[in-house]
Structure 1
């Protein structure tokens, strides 16, 4: 199996877990934040939902991301349905990009910069593992804390959660 397809399988597993978490995000609490320095629930959920397209499709389709040249456009949806559609669309972009890439492209260096300041420069496959998958897992963990603080049952990611228990 080619590296891109191995990464695609890993991404699909993590995307399924992420979907379970995002499905629990209550629209009526989109503006809630646990602390003044924290993102709102909507901002955090939208960031989780945007990462597949940003750090898989975006990385595979370009050689760099320069924050001085690319304007960031945050998620503007106002409903849970729009959030879920945003996530699904971004997952489709990421899956398609992974499925259609090759070992040469995925081995090329990708750079994140802010003008002349280089933030990181790594092989695309490493960026996909760290900035796409690990980054999503990190923020998904934050999202689980938000849900817990809002008394929303937290879904299990790698087995049952305290809210689900073991069945059968």
Structure 2
């Protein structure tokens, strides 16, 4: 039952993420709001990457960031970021579909070289915060980036000021 709820939200929100990533023009990829921030391309690539974390989160009890490797590919074109998203989201969907609800309350840890980065918590809490809410946070940032660069923003939960009424 929990799996079906997670999968339903995942599919709905993946479509929203897809619309947002497809709205990024190549001309905005190198823009960033300050020296402290990622570029639009880096932020969009990170959003695509979050879907790559599903396997380690659902199927492992320890995620070692010290050994984690990810090939983000060429992020100089928005279509490449969308393609990476599509690859990662397909794998993530399979992970959810094949997950075992009996493991959702196992203790989960994120470490780097054996050192905890966060306190251990139930896997379901990690799924909701580390995977889902974390992604929504970054989508909000990306919306701000699109607005700041004069680009249209697609409606995710209803129409935006860019939509024709």
TM-score (normalizing by structure 2): 0.91
Would the aligned equivalents of 1:107 and 1:124 in 2 still touch at CA under 8 Å? Answer: yes
**1:104: how far off?**
1.0
Distance in structure 2 (CA, Å) of the matches to 1:60 and 1:86:
20
Does residue 103 in structure 1 map to residue 74 in structure 2?
Answer: no
Query: Which residues of structure 2 form unaligned runs of 5+?
Result: none
Aligned residues: 163
Distance in structure 1 (CA, Å) of the matches to 2:60 and 2:16:
27
Distance in structure 1 (CA, Å) of the matches to 2:116 and 2:32:
32
Distance in structure 2 (CA, Å) of the matches to 1:65 and 1:107:
16
Q: How does 1:9-88 map to 2 (within 5 A)?
A: 9-54=8-53, 56-68=54-66, 70-73=67-70, 75-77=72-74, 78-88=76-86
Distance in structure 1 (CA, Å) of the matches to 2:28 and 2:149:
8
**1:67: how far off?**
2.3
CA RMSD of aligned residues (A): 1.5
Q: Which contiguous aligned blocks of 4+ residues in structure 1 show a shift greater than 3 angstroms?
A: 71-74
Give the 3-state SS of the residue equivalent to 2:104 in structure 1. helix
Distance in structure 2 (CA, Å) of the matches to 1:93 and 1:109:
23
Query: Which residues of structure 1 form unaligned runs of 5+?
Result: none
Distance in structure 2 (CA, Å) of the matches to 1:123 and 1:25:
35
Distance 1:151 1:86, change over 3 A: same
Distance in structure 2 (CA, Å) of the matches to 1:5 and 1:112:
25
Distance 1:11 1:120, change over 3 A: farther
Distance in structure 2 (CA, Å) of the matches to 1:131 and 1:96:
18
